[in-house]
Copies of this chain bind each other. A is one copy, B any other.
Amino acid sequence: MSSADVHDTIFKALADSRRRAMLDLMKAGPMTTGELCNGFPELDRCTVMQHLGVLEEAGLLIAERRGRRRWNYFNPLPIKEIHDRWIHPHAVGAVTLLARLKRDLEETDVR
């Protein structure tokens, strides 16, 4: 897979608010699949497992089976990768744009 394809997969995995909420929950520490299901009572277990599969495919989740339990670890490194290569440079562009807007508005005020 090219790095463009890898980035597509990461963005797609993040493009669902429930999957983002799952990562937010796991940020505090690894969780069993059962604990994650309890956190999303509106979703059935099968749907939760599907979302976890999408996150795992994007490298955002690392799963480890211990006995009868599956522990899910959040891996933030793919997010850092799209942050550094793509999101951050454009976010800086936005800050520059906002600063210019502010200056232009202030100059308009003075006139």
Q: Are B20 and A15 touching (Cβ within 8 A)?
A: no
Number of interface residues of A (CB under 8 A): 30
0/1 string, A65-83, CB within 8 A of B gives 1? 0000000000011011011
Of B27, B76, B97, which contacts A91 at CB under 8 A? B76
Q: How many copies does the complex hold?
A: 2
* Interface assignment of A34: CB less than 8 Å from any CB of chain B: no
A70-111 interface with B by 8 A CB criterion: 76-77, 79-80, 82-84, 86-88, 90-91, 93-95, 97-98
Is there an interface contact between A93 and B27, defined as CB atoms closer than 8 Å? yes
Is the contact region of chain A dominated by helix, strand, or loop, or is it mixed?
Answer: helix
Contact A83 B91 (CB under 8 A): yes
Q: What is the interface of chain A, defined by CB distance below 8 A to chain B?
A: 4-5, 7-8, 11-12, 14-17, 20, 23, 27, 76-77, 79-80, 82-84, 86-88, 90-91, 93-95, 97-98
